[in-house]
Amino acid sequence: MTMGRLSEKTVLVTGGSRGIGKSISLRLAREGALVAVHYGHDPVAAKETVAEIEAAGGQAFAFRAELGVPGDAAALWAAFDTALAARGAGPGLDILVNNAGITLPKMISDVTEEDYDRVFAVNVKAPFFVIQQGLERLRDGGRIINISSGVTRIAFPHIAAYAMTKGALDTLTLTLAHQLGPRGITVNAVAPGIVETEINPTLQDPQTRTRLAALSAFNRIGQPADIADIVAFVASDDARWVTGQHLDATGGSFLGV
């Protein structure tokens, strides 16, 4: 059963088959949206996500496009258009969630030029051109939601290059919010902190888990659903007067010394 706030809406979630992206896909489908689950390299996870949505009474389809390579945005939109038409749905999009990204756990002294180019290609260049080439598809009154990170507020030297990519995404968010306001399109960034996904294998160590949980005001590790619920709010009409914002979703991490 769906809640209905996003009924008749079409949503695209990049990297929507695993981790935070999967939780976002499931959550927006519960709101009644038709969810396009983008994936880059794991068709099994994408198929499972779509099956889970459909089993709960929602609507979804998966499509593949590799990000971080030349022509990635054009390939993504071509695949999206084809998959959408195959479902018999009308063209266009209401909500774009730029979630796909990669991390780079290296100190600045260890980052190579290849490392740097790769993380910026996936985390910055790809969403930039996905948005650029998607604006003609995005309906007036739509939503762009960029998944940023708490590392733009909190210093983590061991992921410096990654943090830079999320800072760039925050700046893009602010700029686009100003540009797209006349069309009624809101643009916001949601910034998770430490979240329990496969990207954080260190959470399997009990001591590390306890130490990282203590960084939050709630003394626990974030869950993908914590982030998805915030995205659902920003995607809805309830957030129509919120744009150009960086929504801190770190569970109050590092609020005090």
Assess whether 162 carries a catalytic annotation. Answer: yes
For residues 223 and 237, what is the distance between their CA atoms, to the nearest angstrom? 24
Residue with tokens 């100003």: 178
DSSP letters for 185-236: -EEEEEEE-SB-STT-GGGGSHHHHHHHHTTSTTSS-B-HHHHHHHHHHHHS
> CB of 26 within 8 A of CB of 49?
yes
Q: Of 53, 162, 191, 212, which is the active-site residue?
A: 162
**Do the beta carbons of residue 8 and residue 31 sit within 8 Å?**
no
- The DSSP bridge partners found for residue 36 are 12, 61
d(CA 7, CA 142): 13
Rg value, the chain, Cα? 18
Using CA atoms, how far apart are residues 213 and 58, in angstroms rounded to an integer?
Answer: 33
Residues 129, 220: Cα–Cα separation, whole Å: 36
CB 12 within 8 A of CB 33: no
Q: Around 211, how many Cα atoms within 13 Å sit in the side-chain half-sphere?
A: 7
C-alpha separations of 211 from 47, 104, 153, 201 in Å? 35, 21, 19, 14
As annotated, the active-site residues are 162
